[in-house]
């Protein structure tokens, strides 16, 4: 009998446990219920009173507010409308509590009686939450919070968001209110990823809130970056690829800020054995077709320009995780002809010393560093470690990385930094071999209005030599030698600043002595931070610049910004003294295809312009006799280039060259790509660079004169092939 009774009790327990498990599974299977995500312009059906909450959900940060982060989507509740001095309330319509928990994002002021969100049940306040801030120096980041509402399940409730404070942190931010049965503890657990393939992939949006990510393995940070994650495929500009080669089979953890972004990272993260590129790569509507641009992401300064073993190396400031500037990394491309480029992937990645700012590269042919051999010399790259952008902020320093396999892989020098901190934001080392003194020279930006010069015997240890005064100088210095009028026995040195302003003078390996005033090299709007190649085998001094712009030329593209066409520098004697000339490299001519040639035609005021049908990509050469004309206009697919010979003025896109010498013959060359225009006047003495998204439907070229007659001696229009056809 006793055994029978025990068996009955055991059966009862098992049945109860099974019933409880079924009930728990039923509860866990209930989907989340969204109370509100505020992704609209109006608060309705919520009721707003007072001024604090404005006319509707805020599209992020409000005027004069610190950057607001941690919200989801594009909008949130933000009571900073017109500042902290406004007050008000925002009340939800009644809803039924039908899950165990209410979870939500909250930030802003931390005053329980003045800035808070509360839950009202039967008219009584039963739960209350605030932001974290009560003192200056806080953060506008929203973070997860939750209420356990199991005791009220089935009841009708109202949420009220209150801002009664007019002093500091007198506002509150709220977003993404959800009813859920999931344990809120999941919101605070770190994300862990089992690495099964070489690349982790995250989708990048063209805008939206930033997420700060650190990927760690065994407490070591192996990657860190900021990213604007696309919440769905419609927002995705490109997929960022995080190379975790060597970590396959291991588990990495993520430190994600704001913590509210954990879910979107987990949801959108993918893995792949290869990077994923846009399906129409290099042929997108606003992709430059004969100028370099990165496959994806932002680019700015060209870096590390060096020739080695048949290849021109172009490194560049790169954001692999976004369309705007950030996460500075050295991207890398190579070319055998300066025109067709193959992108190899990112070469030098951020580390604990900081992100990777601009610099230069050399070939250590004599193995002065001991990092390579005489038969297999190292390529040594010098860059600024931007410590202010590290995950543990530190000063800016100058560091070295090197490659022993033609630049395909890179190792950072164990003795970094090679030049320690000197002054705030010291940066952009340009290194080259000085043959006369048999030493390496480094030019470094340390302060405005001067550049610092260092020397080294081995690339590892650097000695300060002198400071070169340079009014208006700012970042990205260059120092290089050029023959005067192609005479190798008569040379001068050019000291260069990011803007293209430069000094002409002499350099003895220790000191630069200027012999000119500060001179211009660029009269357009979109050329900055250029650099010249080291080791070019035929002795040419070849330059490439960043076509800096607001990015509007690349609407909805997976990349942002582009480089100029490579240009050859020459130093020539003019009526004003020595001047620097620039001209597109001869290799560009290999792209020429169809050609329009017109000789000897006259332009008269009042006559219709001469009009020609042309293609999309153009290399235009024109020589004119200005005669009595006051203005000659070359209208290039809707963009006018105006020459005023009597004034010595050349105008385009609101920019202006003045003081040009009067001449019987005026020549100009114009390069036209999908998103850029480069002008070289009077054999390249005057250069104008512009970013401009040309109208694809306008394929006309017009020439006209005003105020008198002018003669066009020759007009040659070459249509160019795309460099991406290979």
Residue 8 pLDDT > 90, yes or no? no
With cut-offs at 50, 70 and 90, classify the pLDDT of residue 1.
very low
Using CA atoms, how far residue 105 sits from 147, 168, 705, in Å, is 12, 21, 65
To the nearest 10°, report the CA torsion of 16, 21, 25, 28: 100
CA distances from 647 to 29, 444, 641, 678 (A): 80, 40, 15, 22
A 10 A CB-CB count for 50 gives 15
pTM: 0.86
Cβ atoms of 545 and 689 closer than 8 Å: yes
As a whole number of angstroms, the distance between CA 172 and CA 164 comes to: 10
Q: Do 42 and 150 belong together in one domain?
A: yes
Residue 13 has a pLDDT of 37
The answer to whether residue 77 sits within a structural domain is yes
Nearest to 316, CA basis, from 361, 380, 378 = 361
Rounded Cα–Cα distance for residues 129 and 108 (Å): 11
Predicted confidence band of residue 22 (pLDDT cuts 50, 70, 90) = very low
- Dist CA 613 CA 621 (whole Å): 16
Q: Is residue 281 assigned to a domain? A: no
Q: Is 692 within 8 Å of 680 (Cβ atoms)?
A: no
**Number of structural domains in the chain:** 4
Residue 714 lies in a domain: yes
Query: What is the C-alpha separation between 111 and 70, in angstroms, rounded?
Result: 20
Is 568 within the bounds of a domain? yes
Could you report the per-residue pLDDT of 330-348, keeping only the tens digit for each? 999 999 999 999 999 999 9
Residue 26 in this model has a pLDDT that exceeds 60:
no
pLDDT digits (tens, 9 = 90+) for 585-629: 999 999 999 999 999 999 998 899 999 999 999 999 999 999 999
Give the range of the structural domain holding residue 251, as residue numbers without chain letter: 190-272
Instruction: Say if CB 168 and CB 83 are below 8 A apart.
Output: no
Whole-number pLDDT of residue 28 = 57
| Cross-strand partners of 446 | none
Q: Are residues 444 and 455 located together in one domain of the fold?
A: yes
Residue 258 covered by a domain: yes
Specify the pLDDT at position 726.
Answer: 53
- Give the residue from 720, 691, 725 showing the smallest Cα distance to 614: 720
Task: Check whether 4 has a pLDDT greater than 90.
Answer: no
pLDDT at 20 over 80: no
Give the DSSP per-residue string, 66-102: PPPBS--SS-BEE--TTSTT--EEEEPPPEE--SSEE
Last residue of a domain, one of 272, 288, 308: 272
| Same-domain pairing of 131 and 194 | no
Same domain, 196 and 150: no
pLDDT per position as a tens digit, 233-280: 999 999 999 999 999 999 999 999 888 899 899 999 999 999 999 999
Between 11 and 634, the more confident residue is 634
Residues 167 and 210 both lie in one domain: no
What CATH number has the domain bearing residue 396? 2.115.10.20
Residues 614 and 504 in one domain: no
Q: Say how many Å lie between the first and final Cα of the chain, rounded.
A: 90
Active site residue ranges: 301
In this structure, the answer to whether residues 390 and 429 fall within a common structural domain is yes
Tell me, yes or no, whether 466 and 406 share the same domain: yes
pLDDT at 524: 98
State the pLDDT at residue 48: 97
Same domain, 489 and 386: yes
- Distance separating alpha carbons of residues 523 and 686, to the nearest angstrom: 7
Paired strand residues for 579: 572
Same domain, 627 and 530: no
Domain holding 40: CATH number?
Answer: 2.60.120.200
The CATH number of whichever domain residue 686 belongs to comes to 2.60.120.560
Q: What one-character-per-residue DSSP string does 256-294 give?
A: EESGGGHHHHHHH-EEESS----TTTT-STT--SSS---
Q: What is the pLDDT of residue 250?
A: 97
What's the confidence (pLDDT) of residue 27?
A: 52
Q: What is the pLDDT of residue 188?
A: 76
CA distance 458 to 444: 17
Q: Catalogue the E-assigned strands of 485-576.
A: 487-496, 502-507, 512-514, 528-532, 541-546, 559-560, 567-574
> What does the pLDDT look like over 442-489, one tens digit per residue?
999 999 999 999 999 999 999 999 999 999 888 999 999 999 999 999
- Residue 408: what are its φ and ψ, rounded to 5°? -80, -35
Work out the widest C-alpha separation in the chain, in whole angstroms.
127
Q: What b-and-e string marks burial along 288-304, b requiring 16 or more CB atoms within 10 Å of the CB? A: bbbbbbbbbbbbbbbbb
DSSP 3-state assignment of 587?
helix
List the structure tokens of 332. 């890398």
Q: Is residue 541 part of a domain?
A: no
Residues 204 and 122 grouped into a single domain: no
What the block records as the tokens of 169 is 């942190």
Please check whether residue 292 lies inside any domain of the structure: no
∠ at Cα 279 (274, 281), nearest 5°? Answer: 90
Instruction: Give the tens place of pLDDT for each residue, 355-406.
Output: 999 999 999 999 999 999 989 999 999 999 999 999 999 999 999 999 999 9
Q: Which residue has the tokens 């700015």?
A: 300
Judge if 307 and 257 occupy the same domain.
Answer: no
- How large a percentage of the chain has pLDDT more than 90? 90
Average pLDDT over residues 159-188: 93
Residue 328, helix vs strand vs coil: coil
For the sheet with 676-681, list strands across it.
Answer: 592-603, 710-720, 618-625, 666-673, 676-681, 686-691
| 66 domain-assigned | yes
Three-state SS for 352-380 is CCEEEEEEEEEECCCCCCCCCCCCCCCEE
pLDDT at 19: 41
Last residue of a domain, one of 134, 156, 187: 187
Which of 165, 187, 209 delimits the end of a domain? 187
């Amino acid at each position: 009998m006793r055994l029978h009774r025990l068996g009955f009790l055991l059966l009862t327990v098992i049945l109860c446990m099974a019933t409880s498990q079924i009930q728990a599974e039923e509860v866990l299977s209930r989907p989340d219920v969204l109370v509100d995500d505020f992704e609209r312009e109006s608060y309705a059906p919520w009721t707003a009173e007072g001024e604090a909450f404005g006319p509707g959900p805020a599209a992020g940060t409000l005027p004069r507010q610190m950057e607001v982060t941690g919200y989801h989507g594009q909008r949130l509740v933000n009571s900073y409308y017109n500042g902290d001095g406004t007050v008000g309330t925002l009340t939800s319509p009644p809803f039924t509590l039908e899950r165990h928990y209410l979870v939500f994002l909250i930030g802003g002021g931390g005053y329980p009686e003045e800035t808070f969100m509360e839950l009202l049940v039967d008219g009584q306040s039963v739960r209350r939450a605030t932001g974290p801030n009560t003192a200056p120096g806080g953060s506008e980041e929203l973070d997860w919070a939750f209420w356990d509402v199991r005791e009220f399940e089935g009841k009708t409730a109202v949420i009220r968001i209150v801002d009664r404070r007019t002093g500091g942190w007198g506002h509150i931010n709220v977003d993404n209110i959800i009813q859920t049965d999931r344990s809120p503890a999941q919101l605070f657990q770190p994300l862990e990823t089992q690495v099964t393939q070489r690349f982790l992939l995250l989708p990048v949006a063209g805008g939206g809130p930033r997420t700060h990510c650190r990927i760690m393995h065994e407490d070591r940070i192996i990657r860190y970056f900021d990213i604007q994650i696309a919440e769905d495929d419609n927002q995705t500009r490109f997929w960022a690829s995080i190379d975790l080669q060597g970590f396959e089979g291991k588990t990495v953890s993520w430190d994600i800020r704001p913590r509210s972004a954990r879910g979107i990272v987990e949801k959108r993260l993918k893995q792949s054995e290869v990077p994923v590129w846009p399906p129409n790569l290099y042929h997108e509507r606003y992709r430059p077709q004969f100028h370099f641009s990165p496959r994806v992401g932002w680019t700015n300064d060209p870096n590390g320009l060096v020739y080695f073993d048949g290849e021109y190396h172009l490194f560049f400031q790169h954001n692999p995780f976004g369309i705007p500037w950030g996460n500075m990394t050295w991207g890398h491309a190579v070319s055998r002809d300066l025109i067709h480029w193959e992108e190899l992937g990112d070469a030098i990645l951020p580390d604990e010393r900081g992100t990777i700012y601009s610099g230069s590269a050399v070939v250590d042919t004599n193995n002065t560093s001991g990092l390579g051999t005489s038969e297999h010399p190292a390529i040594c790259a010098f860059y600024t470690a931007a410590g202010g952008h590290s995950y543990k902020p530190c000063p800016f320093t100058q560091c070295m990385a090197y490659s022993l396999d033609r630049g395909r892989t890179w190792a950072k020098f164990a003795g970094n930094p090679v030049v320690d901190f000197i002054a705030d934001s010291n940066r952009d080392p340009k290194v080259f071999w000085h043959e006369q003194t048999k030493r390496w020279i480094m030019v470094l930006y340390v302060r405005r209005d001067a550049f610092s010069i260092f020397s080294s015997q081995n690339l590892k240890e650097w000695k300060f030599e002198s400071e070169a005064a340079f009014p208006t100088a700012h970042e990205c210095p260059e120092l290089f030698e050029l023959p005067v009028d192609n005479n190798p026995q008569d040379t001068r040195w050019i000291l260069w600043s990011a803007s293209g302003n430069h000094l002409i003078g002499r350099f003895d390996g220790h000191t630069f002595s200027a012999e000119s005033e500060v001179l211009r090299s660029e009269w357009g709007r979109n050329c900055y931070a250029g650099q010249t190649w080291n080791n070019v085998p035929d002795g040419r001094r070849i330059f490439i610049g960043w076509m800096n712009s607001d990015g509007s030329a690349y609407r909805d593209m997976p990349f942002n910004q582009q480089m100029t066409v490579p240009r050859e520098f020459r130093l020539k004697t003019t009526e004003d003294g020595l001047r620097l000339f620039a001209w597109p490299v001869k290799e560009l001519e290999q792209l020429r295809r169809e050609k329009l040639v017109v000789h000897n035609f006259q332009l008269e005021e009042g006559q219709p312009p001469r009009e020609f049908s042309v293609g999309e990509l153009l290399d235009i050469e024109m020589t004119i006799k200005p005669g009595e004309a006051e203005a000659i206009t070359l209208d290039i697919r809707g963009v006018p280039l105006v020459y005023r010979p009597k004034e010595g003025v050349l105008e385009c896109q609101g920019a202006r060259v003045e003081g040009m010498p009067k001449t019987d013959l005026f020549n100009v060359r114009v390069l036209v790509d999908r998103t850029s225009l480069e002008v070289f006047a009077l054999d390249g003495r005057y250069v104008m660079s512009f970013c401009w998204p040309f109208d694809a439907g306008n394929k006309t070229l017009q020439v006209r004169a005003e105020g008198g007659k002018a003669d066009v001696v020759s007009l040659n229009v070459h249509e160019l092939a795309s460099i991406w056809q290979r």
